[in-house]
Amino acid sequence: MLNPKLIRMNPELVEEALKKRNMGTELLEEFLAVDRQWRDLDTIIAAKKFERKQFSPKGKPSEEQLLILKKLSDEIKEEEDLVKVLEQKVESIALLFPNIPDNSVPVGTDAASNVVIKQWGEIREFDFQPSPHDELGQKLGILDFERGIKLAQSRFTVYLGDGAKLERALINFMLDTHTARSYKEVLPPFLVNSSSMQGTGQLPKFADDLFRCKDDDLWLIPTAEVPVTNLHRDEIIPEESLPLYYAAYTPCFRREAGSYGRDTKGIIRQHQFNKVELVKFVLPENSSDEHEKLTSDAALILELLGLPYRVISLCTGDLGFSSAKTYDLEVWFPSQNIYKEISSCSNFLDFQARRALIRYRSNKTEKAELLHTLNGSGLAVGRTFAAILENYQQKDGTVIIPEVLRPYMGGKKLLGNI
C-alpha cells in the first residue's frame, strides 16, 4: 500500500500517478476528506482533554463542576469512538490505491503503448502450416480437454502419459535451474488466509478473480507470490540476511474474471495451472538491479529451452495494481504468428512490505525499515508446455523434446508414436 502520509502530504504526486494509470481522482478525494475529518476530530479531542484538565478543581468539585466534567468526558468518549472508525476507514481506503509507477515506466493507456526492449532467438520457418498446441496435444493423446470439463468445468485440462511427464519435467527443470542460481526452494500451502491475500495486494480489490473456501477464511492461491511473500509477514529481517531469493512450484487458481473470450482454446488461460515463481526480498537501494537480474533469471529458462521470446516494459496503463515497474516475457507461438506472455517480473518497491509489515533491521540506524519485494514467473509451466509443442512440432505430427528436458523424460527425444 502507499504510505498514507505520502497521500496526505503530497496529493499532487498521487493524483499524477493515478492519471498515468488512467484512473480518476475520486479515491484520492475520498481519502483526503475522511483523513481531514479524522485529524480535525483528533484535534478537537485534544483540546477538550486540555480543557478538562484545566477545569478540574483542586479540591472537592461542586455538583455543577461534576456535571460539566461528566459532559466533557462523555463527549470525548463518543468522539474517540468515532475517531477509531474514521482511522479504520482511512486505512481501508489507502489499501485501494495502486502503486506509483516508476519514472522509467512508459506512459500509455493500454498494451499498445508497451515497449519492446529485447528480442531473443530465431523464429523458425516452417515448410508446413504449424498446428496450434491444443490440436497437437489432442492428436498426441497427451491433453484431454473434454474430460477436464467432465471432471470440473471449462478451462480445466487433464494431462495424460507423456503430457503429464513433460509437465512434471518442466517443473523439475525450472526448479533445478533456479536453485542452482542461489534461489531457495519452498513448497508453501496452496491455501492462504485473508491477511496473506491482503499483504500482497490481491485483497480487497481482486476478490472476484479468486476462488474462496466458503466455510473458512481460506483462499486458493492465484500464484506462489502470495504465500512466499507472506513467509516474512510481520517480521524484521537482519540486514546481513538480505537479499533472500526463493523459488516455489505451486498450482495456481484463478477465476479469470473479465477474460471471457480470450484464449479459451487450449491451456493458455486456465482456471488451474502450474507455475514456478521467483520471489526476492532486497534492500531498497538494490531493488532496481535485482529486478533486472530477476528478469534475466526467468528468461534463462526460455533460452535453455531454445524458445524465441521478447521482453516488454509495461506502460502505466497496463501495469499491475501492486507493481511500480514490470517486464513481461513473451514467447513465440507460430500457429498464431504472435508472442504471448509467459512471465511477468515486477518490482513492488515497499508497496507489499508496507501492507504485510515486512522490514529489515538497518545496520546503520539500527531501526526497522521497510524492505523491497520483487517477484516473477520462472515460468508459467502450462504456457511453456504449449510453446514447446508449437515450436518443436514436426511435419509428421511428432514433437521434438528440447535437449535439456530429455534427462527428465527418461532420455526420450520425441512426443508421439512415430
Q: How far is CA 119 from its chain centroid?
A: 24
CB atoms within 10 A of CB 195: 14
Options 52, 124, 181, 269, the catalytic residue: 269
The alpha carbon dihedral of 377, 327, 92, 208 has a sign of negative
Options 21, 254, 354, 355, the catalytic residue: 254
Options 15, 75, 341, 369, the catalytic residue: 341
- Say whether 383 is catalytic: yes
Options 21, 354, 359, 383, the catalytic residue: 383
Options 196, 322, 335, 344, the catalytic residue: 344
Question: Cell 528436458 sits at which residue?
Answer: 405
- Say whether 255 is catalytic: no
Give dist(CA 132, CA 218) in Å, integer: 37
CB atoms within 10 A of CB 25: 13
In what helix (H) or strand (E) does residue 385 lie, and over which residues does it extend?
helix 381-391
- Say whether 344 is catalytic: yes
Give dist(CA 383, CA 403) in Å, integer: 18
Report the half-sphere exposure of 406 (CA within 13 A, side-chain side).
10
DSSP 12-73: HHHHHHHHHTT--SHHHHHHHHHHHHHHHHHHHHHHHHHHHHHHS-SSPPPHHHHHHHHHHH
Query: Any idea which residues carry the catalytic annotation?
Result: 254, 269, 341, 344, 383
